[in-house]
Each structure stands twice: as C-alpha cells, then as structure tokens.
C-alpha cells in the first residue's frame, strides 16, 4: 500500500479584539490597557471612534478594543 506523509498543522494566535458596549472608547481602552499591563498606542485608530489599539502583547499579539452598539 502507498504511504502518505502527514504534515503537522501549526497555528498561532496573532491577536484579538475586545468588544466593549456603551461608554467612551478611550475609557474602555484605558481600562483594558491597565488590566492587561499594556499601554494604549492609539486611542482612536482610524479616527472613527470604533477601535483603540493597545501596545503589542506577549508573543507579539495585536490587541484592539472595539466599540460596539
């Protein structure tokens, strides 16, 4: 019988977004930045009051706070 070589799949988490409902985006970003021990790099990324970017997390994680309604 033929043999197959199986390749192991390797994945890694590249980042995550924290949804925050209600309140000011800057306040939510400040809270999560403090809770995670990360600074707020951009409190209003894109200027639309939708996303705030935190400093790079452990292992190079990209972390954002997202304002949802």
Condensed to tens digits (0 to 9), the pLDDT of residues 12-65 reads 889 999 999 989 999 999 999 999 999 999 999 999 999 999 999 999 999 999
- What DSSP state is assigned to residue 59? G
Instruction: Specify the 3-state DSSP secondary structure of 44.
Output: strand
Among the listed residues 43, 42, 38, the one whose alpha carbon sits nearest the alpha carbon of residue 60: 38
Among the listed residues 13, 16, 17, the one whose alpha carbon sits nearest the alpha carbon of residue 67: 17
* Diameter over CA atoms, the chain: 64
pTM for the model stands at 0.80
The answer to whether 45 and 67 are in contact (CB under 8 A) is no
């Amino acid at each position: 019988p033929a043999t197959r070589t199986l390749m192991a799949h390797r994945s890694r988490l590249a980042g995550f977004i924290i949804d925050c409902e209600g309140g000011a985006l800057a306040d939510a970003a400040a809270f999560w930045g403090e809770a995670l021990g990360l600074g707020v790099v951009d409190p209003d990324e894109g200027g639309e009051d939708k996303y705030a970017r935190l400093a790079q997390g452990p292992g190079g994680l990209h972390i954002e706070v997202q304002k949802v309604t």
